[in-house]
Amino acid sequence: MTTVLVIDDSPSEMAKFRDMLAKNNYQVLEAINGEQGCQMAAEHLPDIILMDVVMPEMNGFHATRKITRGKTTAHIPVIMISTKNQETDRVWGKRQGAKEYVSKPVDEIGLINIIRKVME
């Protein structure tokens, strides 16, 4: 079973992702901020990460850079998912190492298709 680490500080967004992913047979790990997400990525080595951008302490850009440049975590693809939907945000997210950058709100079919594409 594919393991997805979701890093998002919003309980309602986390619940949406958890439901969407579980319904599509993904195992879900949850982190509520970038720092916890980086620790969990190194500890659990998930197959893929869904990363929010706007979070307290360590934002998603910083956490993505830390994960995608880490020795043990660089192989894990990161999909950034955020309300920040400007082209500069997308470009900056990709420069930090994200494979994809998706704007919220996310539809289930679209998200599952993006995960499958990134995992190929």
Per-residue pLDDT, 20: 96
Which portions of the chain are predicted below pLDDT 70?
none
Model pTM score: 0.96
Q: In angstroms, what CA-CA distances link 8 with 71, 120?
A: 23, 24
Per-residue pLDDT, 57: 87
84-117 residue pLDDT tens: 889 999 999 999 999 999 999 999 999 999 999 9
Superfamily of domain 3-119: Response regulator (3.40.50.2300)
Per-residue pLDDT, 16: 96
